Amino acid sequence: MSTESNQSSPFWQAVFSGEHPELRRGRKLLRLASPTATHRCRLCYAGFDGFTAPLMRALGRAQWRRNPNLCEKCESVLSEQRGGAELEIAVLYADIRGSTQMAARMSPADFAARMALFFRTAVDVFTWTDGIVDKMVGDEVIALYVPTLTGSDYQRRAVTAGLKLLRLTGGAENDERRLPIGVGVHSGKVFVGSIGTESGNYQLAALGDAMNYGARLVAAAREGELVMSEAVWKAVSNDISAEAHEYDLKGYPAPQTAYVVRASS
């Protein structure tokens, strides 16, 4: 059963078409109002720690206990407003290469600490480029760049975030943030909103072919590489230099042209 909540909703259409500018303004404000936070609501940016944490709690934006990625206020919106809207966004995938081998070389606690640091670094980069953290699962993070929240340069912001993440994780051998990661960036139409799952739960999520294509691009990226689709390349080619490459992407007719940037270049 694909649940009935996975339908267009006037609320989400209004939010993502910019008719609800409160979300955009609110995010800027909450980000500035909690400058020292290291954990934030992935939707509204309210900080859960740092010296402004009591203020955020007073505003009803305490961390939600069942999903530490959301504040209580955003959680209530997601639970009341099921469904979503179809819109053009950019999507960024970043994942760690060889995390299985890495885990085998370290104690579980050390491995967990490295992953936590990676997630923290990624969330920080996404927050300051106006992305929404879609998922942090296993050894992968996914961010969404929605035009009504970022402005018309959403594709460029996704690429900027990807390159920043590659730089931050590509440091010297003794840098604790150093990790072998690859990044994929694509843009296209997806369905975003509060999406129901089989078990009756719901979550902020994005669905559609553009998400799958982004996942294929990150799978094609090698360590230290950002691979972007033709659609993204068209939007950023004035400012960024990249190399065209032909890829066989699983599930898509071969070959697909995509563009590669290396962190070192």
The site for Zn ion (CB under 5 A) is made up of: 41, 43-44, 46, 71, 74
Looking at the Cβ atoms of 69 and 229, the one nearer to Zn ion is 69
Helix runs in 129-175, H state only: 147-150, 154-168
Q: How far is the CB of 247 from Zn ion (least distance, A)?
A: 37
Looking at the Cβ atoms of 27 and 114, the one nearer to Zn ion is 27
Q: How far is the CB of 7 from Zn ion (least distance, A)?
A: 23
**Cβ 23 vs Cβ 44: under 8 Å:** yes
Q: How are the residues of the chain apportioned to helix, strand and coil, as percentages rounded to the nearest 5?
A: 40, 25, 35
Kindly give, in sequence order, each residue whose CB lies less than 8 Å from that of residue 109, ignoring residues fewer than 6 positions away.
none
CA distances to 38, 90, 230, 246 from 233, rounded to whole Å, are 32, 12, 5, 14
Q: How far is the CB of 239 from Zn ion (least distance, A)?
A: 32
Looking at the Cβ atoms of 31 and 114, the one nearer to Zn ion is 31
Q: How far is the CB of 148 from Zn ion (least distance, A)?
A: 17
Q: How far is the CB of 122 from Zn ion (least distance, A)?
A: 18
Looking at the Cβ atoms of 34 and 169, the one nearer to Zn ion is 34
Looking at the Cβ atoms of 28 and 189, the one nearer to Zn ion is 28
Q: Is 13 exposed, middle or buried (0-12, 13-18, 19+ CB in 10 A)?
A: middle
E strands in the chain: 83-96, 132-137, 140-145, 181-196, 202-207, 225-229, 243-247, 256-262
Q: Which residues pair with 90 in a beta bridge?
A: 145, 187
